[in-house]
Amino acid sequence: CYSETNVRMLSVLAIGFVLSRALSGLAIVSFRMAKNTGLAATFSDMAVKNRVKTVMILYILLCAVGMILLEPVLGTVCFISALLMFAYYRRMSYQKFGGITGDLAGFFLQVCELVMAAAVVITAKIIGL
Can you give the residue range of the structural domain that contains 12?
Answer: 4-124
98/32 Cα distance (integer angstroms): 8
Q: Is the pLDDT of residue 4 over 60?
A: yes
In order of 16, 44, 76, the CA distances from 39 in angstroms are: 24, 8, 32
Least confident of 59-68, 80-89, 95-104: 95-104
Q: What's the one-letter identity of residue 100?
A: I
**Model-level pTM?**
0.87
Q: Please report whether residue 33 resides in a domain.
A: yes
Average pLDDT over residues 42-52: 68
Q: Check whether 107 has a pLDDT greater than 90.
A: yes
64 occurs within a structural domain: yes
Count of structural domains within the chain: 1
Question: 94 with 32: CB under 8 angstroms?
Answer: yes
Does residue 129 sit within a domain?
A: no
- Alpha-carbon distance of 57 to 47, in angstroms, equals 15
Give the number of C-alpha atoms closer than 13 A to the C-alpha of residue 89, restricted to the C-beta side: 31
Q: What's the confidence (pLDDT) of residue 34?
A: 82
CB distance 100 to 32 below 8 Å:
yes
